[in-house]
Structure 1
């Protein structure tokens, strides 16, 4: 694996979405880091792709290393720091269009935060080609939960599968899991066990090396959805506990990992500037908005947020689709547009849900 090293980043001490950097596990869970992939779907002629590695834990000094399976053409890669004024939030990787082997830009990217003190934190993101043959319908990761503590069988769910759209022009596709080849035939794989966790590469015959591939990561929790790990066993959550607004229960803590723009131990609190209602990625004494990222979009349109396990990778609130650039249809809102508006508010705010309507229109910077 070819390694692309960024310059060293002296990260400012910030919090993410309102959480304190001294968060207490089980009450206000540690947000750790987030890798944001801009334009997760690229055409073969598109000029540039950005990946952002944003620090949110308050680690004083660290190095960020980007890597990708298969490497990249060195002259097409640039790295730099993400500054807003004098405040430093992280690093970015921009990948230009190589003259040959344009398919080398597609696949799984990894960003490792290597602090001076403390464990290395690894995050991942995906970029796939724009194609109707290998189309995952906007799915980049799939999280599954065991049915019982200590078991490997999965809890029943209509989402316990991964797959791609089939095309008559694609006579054969190959499934690989890590280095294992031909792990499945056909466009769909049914998930039955936590042992199915891993990164699956689905490619078009001999053209996989030229970029005709997509990847999906299956993430398996260690405890059932209604419990969390305490030591070596799973402990039941309180009966009315749930994660709001598209949040995902943490594996190993009695708390939630919240989507961008939401916070609180159950993700029930909105995060925005009190007056402007900007879409803010980090809030404390400093703020970072989507539009302040290199090549950024102020509405967070076209961003895939990869926040690690068990959250995985999802679009920002209010968007859905392969490229996270399609507004939620009427009656739906939130992360990947998976939340439903109540019957009394069929036209609820697509970014913040039914409560968002009570606070006036959302301001979006030009």
Structure 2
């Protein structure tokens, strides 16, 4: 399905993030947000939002697709619009009359700027609710080589396994990667090299065709964590003296800069949005005017982005917004934790720090 963005006002082009005069730091470029990415078999609908933070050309085109085709009752429902500015489009995935499991899987979104042949691709996930196939909120997993260059052994051995929560009620779990079937039969898969990259479908035996499956995308970096791939296809150390990215950000694969989580910005992702009292959570902003899209503006959206999965470009992948975790991104961080995936510690000096933006 395709849709045009219709826009009246000042136009902004480019794919780089920015921080405007008000301190807003939206997500970078084109991204996909999924509202309630985990569904029960009888739940009504899930919505995917394709949003561009700073490109509002009238001729932009967004298209959604899914392997096997979009199910019945799925509608490209309209534009994400505020104050005459079109920030993107949203896709409402309905409840099929039959074969309800066919709506689960990976949804791809493409963004084509008006008058350009460049196509930007992103993706999002929709999963079935299952106690047996529970990935504990993992949708994507990024791995880095132990030495420079692709197809090399992976570092950080202890972090390089993915899988599902085991249940005695499930005797057989099958792993598929593309057309390769049964690449693993246990609840966990050990990743050994960057060749392991790709989308894994984890099925519950013969019931996978009826929706009893989850998917995890393994993303492989070309270079080590502190390096990036330059235009000569060489892995070089970042020129910034700040080192690694902060607050859940990751170094871009082919650029000397960081990919920052939503609501963080800067060379090292150290700058949070400058609206801690209002909890504004700006996703995209029309920098020449006063229009901004926030999580609360989305159809059924929560003002604090509860229940939203955000998928940026690789190597970042998909995570919940800062302050939330879980398969449906609806569980608040525990006391003493904050940030993307609740992976940051408040520290002894401020044990009750803000779970969205920390100390």
Question: Structure 1 length normalisation: TM-score?
Answer: 0.89
Question: 1:271 matched to which residue of 2?
Answer: 273
> Structure 1 residues 338 and 275, CA, compared in 2 at 3 Å: closer, same or farther?
closer
> Structure 1 residues 299 and 20, CA, compared in 2 at 3 Å: closer, same or farther?
closer
Higher deviation after alignment, 52-61 or 182-191: 52-61
Higher deviation after alignment, 282-291 or 142-151: 282-291
How far apart are the structure 1 equivalents of 2:339 and 2:39? 24
Distance apart, 1:118 and its partner CA: 4.0
Question: 1:290 matched to which residue of 2?
Answer: 295
**2:340 aligned with 1:335:** yes
**2:83 aligned with 1:85:** yes
Question: Within 5 A, what are the aligned runs for 1:118-129?
Answer: 118-129=117-128
> Structure 1 residues 7 and 239, CA, compared in 2 at 3 Å: closer, same or farther?
closer
Partner SS state of residue 146, structure 1: coil
Question: Within 5 A, what are the aligned runs for 1:68-217?
Answer: 68-115=66-113, 116-150=115-149, 152-217=152-217
**2:52 aligned with 1:55:** yes
Distance apart, 1:224 and its partner CA: 0.5
How far apart are the structure 2 equivalents of 1:64 and 1:272? 31
How far apart are the structure 2 equivalents of 1:205 and 1:275? 49
How far apart are the structure 2 equivalents of 1:275 and 1:7? 36
> Structure 1 residues 87 and 240, CA, compared in 2 at 3 Å: closer, same or farther?
closer
Question: Within 5 A, what are the aligned runs for 1:305-324?
Answer: 305-324=310-329
Question: 1:257 matched to which residue of 2?
Answer: 259
Question: 2:38 matched to which residue of 1?
Answer: 41
Contact 1:17-1:261 within 8 A present in 2 as well: no
Tell me which of 242, 245, 250 is aligned to 1:243: 245
Question: Structure 2 length normalisation: TM-score?
Answer: 0.90
1:115-173 deviation per Cα after TM superposition (whole angstroms, max 9, x unaligned): 23141111011111111110101000000000111251111242211101121211111
Higher deviation after alignment, 102-111 or 151-160: 151-160
How far apart are the structure 2 equivalents of 1:268 and 1:176? 38
Higher deviation after alignment, 55-64 or 262-271: 55-64
Could you tell me which runs of 5 or more consecutive residues in structure 2 were left unpaired when the two chains were aligned: none
How far apart are the structure 1 equivalents of 2:277 and 2:158? 41
Tell me which of 2, 8, 17 is aligned to 1:6: 2
Contact 1:17-1:280 within 8 A present in 2 as well: no
> Structure 1 residues 263 and 68, CA, compared in 2 at 3 Å: closer, same or farther?
same
Distance apart, 1:337 and its partner CA: 0.5
Could you tell me which runs of 5 or more consecutive residues in structure 1 were left unpaired when the two chains were aligned: 22-27, 355-366
Contact 1:110-1:122 within 8 A present in 2 as well: yes
How far apart are the structure 2 equivalents of 1:84 and 1:47? 26
